Amino acid sequence: MKSFCPEPLPVTANPSTEIPLNVKEAATFLGVSVQTVYLWVERKQIPHLRIMGRNIRFLKSDLEPFRASFKKEMENG
């Protein structure tokens, strides 16, 4: 008897299926240090999620517009 193995669904930017980034991954994505990301979280300047109290996670779909505005701000000096 053959078992049915469905094809995996494509990964989309849907927040319900998006895998959250940790602080180090977010820092790399944004091109800043881990300390800067923690500072932005503390100041509530960056969209983030708190998992189980202390664990901080980020959705890439939330960080993309933040990164765009951050880069634009850096270019304008």
- Which regions of 21-72 does DSSP assign to beta strands (E)? 49-51, 55-57
Looking at residue 32, its pLDDT comes to: 95
Q: Is the pLDDT of residue 41 over 80?
A: yes
| Position with higher pLDDT, 18 vs 27 | 27
Instruction: Kindly indicate the confidence band of residue 71, based on its pLDDT and cuts at 50, 70 and 90.
Output: confident
Q: Is the pLDDT of residue 61 over 70?
A: yes
As a whole number of Å, the end-to-end CA separation of the chain is 66
Average pLDDT, the chain: 83
Mean pLDDT of 49-74: 88
CATH number at 23-76: 1.10.1660
List all residues 6 or more positions away from 33 whose beta carbon is below 8 Å from its beta carbon: 27
CA dist., res. 37 & res. 66, Å (int):
12
Q: Where are the domains of the chain?
A: 23-76
Confirm if 49 and 56 have CB atoms less than 8 A apart: yes
